Amino acid sequence: MTNPTSVAVLGLGNMGTALAAAFLTAGHPTTVWNRTASKAEPLAAQGAAVAATVAEAIAAAEVTVICLSVYDTVLARLDGVDLHGKAIVNLTNGTPRQAREASAALTARGASYVDGGIMAIPEMIGQPSALLFYSGATETFQAHRELLDLLGPARFLGADPGLASLYDLALLSGMYGTFAGAFHAIALAGTEGVPAVEITELVVPWVTAMAAVLPSMAAEIDKGEFLGEESSLQVNKDGLDNILTASWQQGISADLLAPFHTLIARKLATTDGSVSVNSIMELLK
């Protein structure tokens, strides 16, 4: 490597270990730290330097990548450490407010701060299928983009350090909503002995096909025009009535879908049933 960047990785859970391994594989001098020192041994065998303290790790690197459990832990571990002139990239999962507060605190101590959100599991790190969001210190991100791209395609969202967390949690919300629907489908079909694998083979292409309508729904939401030409409130209320009733009759909980049904019913109480189901977005604001 012509211009290797020295990097430190703080936190060696499954994700932190994958991040450090990606830097090592690309030839960047990598220092690692973890509260439980034994977790660093496999990376040391690959050529990583193991720091005894957080301060030692940060001092050894141009860029410090943090992947700990929560933001409070991040701030606690950095307490009293000299951060002047250091580039900090925090990939710990948290909220936009936590990211902004961390940015303010660490910037005040002389660091340049970039927050990030990882849309991947550890096995995906370093692959094109991974996606990582970043926001915060623009010049710092641009200076080290090549390094960060080693973890997966990097998307910079702007100078507001809270944006990466916002996008991260928004995409995870879509994921969990999908899981909730799939779990309910498995439970409902399972009441008649249908194996989870069998019904899931049908759920996946069905959900994929339905996802194709999301861009047009999003355009309608942005315009604030809820015409209901394709999917009205009443049609969706009727469908969910049947799903919930069948669930109760089959002896399973409807807790995963009941909140959606409740929102539709609330909207129907104040508007015509022919408007689009997208209009329930107004209840979320």
Short-list 185, 166, 91, 169, CA closest to 132 = 91
Q: Find the domain containing 56 and state its range.
A: 7-159
> Domain for residue 22, yes or no?
yes
Q: How many domains does the chain have?
A: 2
> Domain for residue 1, yes or no?
no
**Are 66 and 126 part of one and the same domain?**
yes
Question: Per residue in 117-152, pLDDT tens?
Answer: 999 999 999 999 999 999 999 999 999 999 999 999
**Are 20 and 138 part of one and the same domain?**
yes
Strand 131-136 to strand 112-119: parallel, antiparallel, or no bridges (unpaired)? antiparallel
Per the listing, tokens 């990376």 go with 43
Question: What's the order of all strands across the beta sheet hosting 112-119?
Answer: 49-50, 30-33, 7-10, 63-66, 87-90, 112-119, 131-136, 154-156
Q: What is the pLDDT of residue 227?
A: 85
Q: What is the mean pLDDT of residues 179-193?
A: 98
Last residue of a domain, one of 143, 159, 175: 159
Q: Which amino acid is at 236?
A: N
Question: Residue 228 above 80 pLDDT?
Answer: no
Q: How many residues does the chain have?
A: 285
Rounded Cα–Cα distance for residues 244 and 274 (Å): 21
Q: What is the pLDDT of residue 188?
A: 98
Short-list 106, 56, 52, 46, CA closest to 76 = 106
What is the CB neighbour count within 10 angstroms for residue 230? 13
| 55 phi and psi angles, rounded to 5 deg | -60, -40
Cβ-Cβ contacts under 8 Å for 141 (sequence gap 6 or more): 114, 134, 148, 154, 156
Q: Which amino acid is at 15?
A: M
State percent of the chain over pLDDT 70.
99
Strand 154-156 to strand 63-66: parallel, antiparallel, or no bridges (unpaired)? unpaired
Q: What is the pLDDT of residue 257?
A: 96
Q: What is the mean pLDDT of residues 89-97?
A: 97
Look up the pTM and report it.
0.93
**Are 124 and 174 part of one and the same domain?**
no
Question: Per residue in 40-60, pLDDT tens?
Answer: 999 999 999 999 999 999 999
Question: Residue 230 above 90 pLDDT?
Answer: no
| CATH number for the domain that contains residue 112 | 3.40.50.720
Rounded Cα–Cα distance for residues 195 and 187 (Å): 10
Question: Per residue in 141-150, pLDDT tens?
Answer: 999 999 999 9
**Are 86 and 67 part of one and the same domain?**
yes
Cβ-Cβ contacts under 8 Å for 222 (sequence gap 6 or more): none
**Are 182 and 98 part of one and the same domain?**
no
The answer to whether the beta carbons of residues 124 and 94 sit under 8 Å apart is: no
The answer to whether the beta carbons of residues 55 and 83 sit under 8 Å apart is: no
> Domain for residue 253, yes or no?
yes
Question: Residue 1 above 70 pLDDT?
Answer: no
**Are 120 and 208 part of one and the same domain?**
no
Q: Is 266 helix (H, G, I), strand (E, B) or coil?
A: helix
Q: What is the pLDDT of residue 225?
A: 87
